[in-house]
Amino acid sequence: MNEMPLKYGCNPNQTPARVFMERGELPFTVLNGRPGYINLLDAMNAWQLVRELKAATGLPAAASFKHVSPAGAAVAVPLSEVLEKVYFVEGIGLSPIATAYIRARGSDRMSSYGDFVALSDECDAQTASFLQREVSDGIIAPSYSVEALEILKSKRKGTYLVLRMDPSYEPEPVEKKQVFGVWFEQRRNDVKITADCLKDIPTKNKDIPESARRDLLIALITLKYTQSNSVCYARDGQAVGIGAGQQSRVHCTRLAGSKADNWYLRQCPDVLALPFRPEVRRPDRDNAIDVYIGDEYEDILRDGAWQRVFTEKPPVLTAERKRAWLATAQDLALGSDAFFPFGDNVERAHKSGVRYIAQAGGSIRDDNVIETCDKYGIVCAMTHLRLFHH
């Protein structure tokens, strides 16, 4: 099949809508559900991301996409006991692809609500079972086990979108799109992001351990499929904070940094000890945790709303306690899709425990950026690659 009608375009008033190939067949097959325009934009971008993560790291990869940018991306690095609790999978032996998915979904669960999922490897029954419990619009993977497909077909009253991607598909080297009646054409961004991108290190500290090298590659490949401007924080085999679509670089760094801080605050002992009522569902727990680590919790204490979620009133997570916990964050990696124009980006990254940075370089103030990195002992690699995505 080389053409498929869609329900509508980006919005219900945009009809008719379709996807089609000028030559050859569509590279994916619909196994269940009916795709929408944004579903397929997410699917095509997310598939490229997980395919490249797998190629760069050799590990199964997963991504959680929302509105054509990743909410999370990860590879199959085993979870610590703390992260098992944070991600609600305590004591469960996870398959590699399930581990990657749990990490990708867990990095920013608020943004992942209603996501589109991509897997680099076959979707197994365990991963499908986890997906069945989440609010999600669809999935794309190269294959599905028989049991996994049956589980996914039962999701959302049988309407959950399941796509099988042809892993051998390679697009034409030139891509084009139309905007307001005008055609745009360019070479597809087929640059390979490998460890060679991290060789130029002008900072005094030049030591990048293998784990940090992996995390920098994860950050850079994630940025390649994130709406620009964008910055990505990564740790332990996954993205932990993605700042997408901002007009200034430092706002990307702040947005991604605040998400990375929230990810780390969820590991604070005070948060892990929250006394949830057993009947409270996981999405409601996520919302409650987000409120608890935010600035609105004292308001909820005053109006008694905590009683709907907790068995007893948890103490306030004070600003001082938050600062003390966040001060223990360390060894995060950060990627930027273009150069840092000022050292203020490094200052903000340092506050979230960043020790390794990969950015394009080439600013007239590179010396200021390097000097700021040296002040904190941060390693900064100049990739000489700009990764804008629009």
Q: Which residues are catalytic?
A: 66-67, 229, 390
CA separation for the pair 255, 221 (Å, rounded): 19
C-alpha angle with apex 277: 126 to 328, nearest 5 degrees? 75
Question: How far apart, in whole angstroms, are the C-alpha atoms of residue 288 and residue 309?
Answer: 7
Which ranges of the chain does DSSP label H, i.e. alpha helix? 37-57, 81-86, 96-106, 109-112, 125-132, 146-153, 210-224, 249-265, 269-272, 282-292, 297-303, 319-326, 344-351, 366-376
Local structure of residue 133 (DSSP, 8 states):
T
Query: 253 - beta bridge partners?
Result: none
Distance between CA atoms of residues 338 and 385, nearest Å: 7
What DSSP letter does each residue of 294-318 carry, written as one string?
SS-HHHHHHHTGGGGTBSS-PPP--
CB 345 within 8 A of CB 250: yes
